[in-house]
A and B are shown apart, each in its own frame.
Chain A
Amino acid sequence: MKRIRMMFLAVCALVLIACCGCGDEGTGTSKESVDLDLTKMSGTAVYSEVFNMVTTPDDYEGKCVKITGQFYHGEDKNTGEIFYYCVIPDAAGCCQQGIEFVPGEKCEYPADFPEEGKDITVTGIFEQYDYEDSNGTVKLCRLADADMEAGGSQ
């Protein structure tokens, strides 16, 4: 019984230590202070964080996010609008998470962008926006006013 009590206390201590690590992730909205620097995290953690950003975007609205991944682009065939993505694979390489970004400065594709699949580092403000497609209006998220650098920081 004493051992069970000790074990229970050890588990509680572990949980408390884990909770002590909870911190404010920052509330700045300018790119001078990066609230969420994913370039310092491992591939597994980055994939998970981007997944959470896409599935619970309200928690990240307005935060400055810095991320390294692979550059890809897509085009809306109806409007001709081009979209740019930073894609992160998971540790096993079988799954990918990506986030759209909008360059802050006027850029022309493909002259001002790296080749598809090349590493890039993007810093931008996370925001949600409404997009009209053939099925109606959908809510998407992206990094707005983004600075883009070729190459990775990881």
Chain B
Amino acid sequence: MSGLIQMLQMYLSHQFVIYALVVGTLIALCSAMIGVTLVLKRFSFIGDGLSHVAFGAMCVATVMDLTGHMIITMPVTVISAVLLLRAGGRTKVKGDAQLAMISVVSLALGYLIMNLASTSSNLSGDVCSTLFGSTSILTLTSGDALLCGILSVCVVIAFIIFYNKIFAVTFDEDFARATGVRADAYNLAVAVIIAVIIVLGMSLVGSLLISALIIFPALAAMRIYKTFLSVTVCSVIISVICAVLGMLISICGGTPVGATVVAVDLVCYLGFCLVSKVRG
């Protein structure tokens, strides 16, 4: 035990580990909060689709040699989220087909652009790292960490302030609209929050695994708790604990960060399923 504590103290003396733990905790917190809304509105796969759009935007930013990828990635992902979540039934191509189309096109075009125009000496490695988040969270600069921190805090504050309205549009949008709630505006806010969280979450678990960060904590919490508030709080606690545990296991054990965090989320979800079955 003392050996484990000494090892943790050794790693915690490195700045990049501190940045990773703080930013990873905030990202996990934000993802879990909005994950409950997404799962209840049956938009679980939106995270996957938007992360692929973000990947495509990031490829364009890389090819343009922009040091700050978020300057392109964030606006493109936000616009895509707004179009996907607000267009709804008013388009010729519906719901899941629309999402699938945008998702695969972004992934394919992004990788094609990288192959044709990138100056990276290890293209496959860069793409693999972005897709699976093997070390992205451990290579944050102080500027990246500060930006992620500020955005995460903004998301948390927005969620807490608009909690009641988000609750209303999640469970019964028509009733909320009938009682005077500006459902369209709050749906737009939710879309923007989702996009911000997706772009931030890519640095923790990568593009392909971001959905796990959003849905697993919510699904685990729903096995035990039944009210919106209790599910949200439980989901946040699960997500933060799993993210921190996953990062520490990855750092100490030499495993890819993204996959390890998702594996811990899965174990936690299975544990909650077991508890739910035992309780009956």
Nearest chain-A residue to B253 (Cβ)? A42
B179 at the interface (CB under 8 A from A): no
How far is the CB of B240 from the nearest CB of chain A, in Å? 6
How far is the CB of B250 from the nearest CB of chain A, in Å? 6
B75-131 with Cβ < 8 A to chain A: 122, 124-126, 128-129
How far is the CB of B61 from the nearest CB of chain A, in Å? 17
Cα–Cα distance between A43 and B255 once the two chains are bound (Å): 8
Cα–Cα distance between A1 and B15 once the two chains are bound (Å): 34
Q: Are A45 and B125 in contact (CB under 8 A)?
A: no
Cα–Cα distance between A22 and B216 once the two chains are bound (Å): 32
Identify the stretch in A46-54, A104-112, A120-128, A141-149 within 8 Å (CB) of chain B at 4 or more residues. A46-54
Q: Are A15 and B25 in contact (CB under 8 A)?
A: yes
- Which range contains the number of A residues in contact with the other chain? 20 to 34
Interfacial chain B residues near A40, Cβ < 8 Å: 10
Q: Are A48 and B138 in contact (CB under 8 A)?
A: yes
Identify the stretch in A68-76, A77-85, A86-94, A129-137 within 8 Å (CB) of chain B at 4 or more residues. A86-94
Known: A19-B18, A45-B17, A52-B16. A94 touches B129 (CB 8 A): yes
Cα–Cα distance between A59 and B142 once the two chains are bound (Å): 12
B240-259 with Cβ < 8 A to chain A: 240, 244, 250-257
Cα–Cα distance between A45 and B12 once the two chains are bound (Å): 11
Cα–Cα distance between A7 and B14 once the two chains are bound (Å): 26
Q: Are B16 and A49 in contact (CB under 8 A)?
A: yes
Cα–Cα distance between A91 and B126 once the two chains are bound (Å): 14
Q: Are A43 and B254 in contact (CB under 8 A)?
A: yes
How far is the CB of A52 from the nearest CB of chain B, in Å? 5
How far is the CB of B211 from the nearest CB of chain A, in Å? 20
B276 at the interface (CB under 8 A from A): no
Which residue of A10, A45, A95 has the most chain B CB atoms within 10 A of its CB atom? Answer: A45
B59 at the interface (CB under 8 A from A): no
B134 at the interface (CB under 8 A from A): yes
How far is the CB of A139 from the nearest CB of chain B, in Å? 16
B170 at the interface (CB under 8 A from A): no
Dominant SS among interface residues on chain B = helix
Q: Are B139 and A52 in contact (CB under 8 A)?
A: yes
CB-CB contacts of B1-41 with A at 8 A, as 1s and 0s? Answer: 00000001111111111100110010001000000000000
B233 at the interface (CB under 8 A from A): yes
B237 at the interface (CB under 8 A from A): yes
Interface size on B, residues (CB 8 A): 43
Cα–Cα distance between A51 and B11 once the two chains are bound (Å): 16
Cα–Cα distance between A52 and B126 once the two chains are bound (Å): 16
Interfacial chain A residues near B15, Cβ < 8 Å: 22, 52, 59
Nearest chain-A residue to B258 (Cβ)? A92
Interfacial chain B residues near A15, Cβ < 8 Å: 21-22, 25
Cα–Cα distance between A11 and B33 once the two chains are bound (Å): 14
Interfacial chain B residues near A91, Cβ < 8 Å: 134-135, 250, 254-256
Nearest chain-B residue to A1 (Cβ)? B229
Known: A7-B233, A95-B122. A51 touches B139 (CB 8 A): yes
Besides A25-B14, A95-B128, 17 other A-B contacts (C-beta < 8 A) = A3-B230, A7-B233, A7-B237, A14-B244, A18-B12, A22-B12, A23-B13, A25-B13, A42-B253, A44-B134, A48-B135, A90-B134, A91-B135, A91-B256, A92-B132, A96-B122, A96-B125
A-B contacts, 22 listed (Cβ < 8 Å): A3-B230, A11-B240, A14-B240, A18-B12, A18-B21, A20-B12, A21-B9, A21-B13, A22-B18, A40-B10, A44-B134, A44-B135, A44-B254, A45-B14, A48-B139, A55-B139, A56-B141, A90-B129, A90-B134, A92-B134, A95-B122, A96-B122
Listed in ascending order, the chain A residues whose CB lies under 8 Å from chain B are 3-4, 7, 10-11, 14-15, 18-23, 25, 40-45, 47-49, 51-52, 55-56, 59, 90-92, 94-96
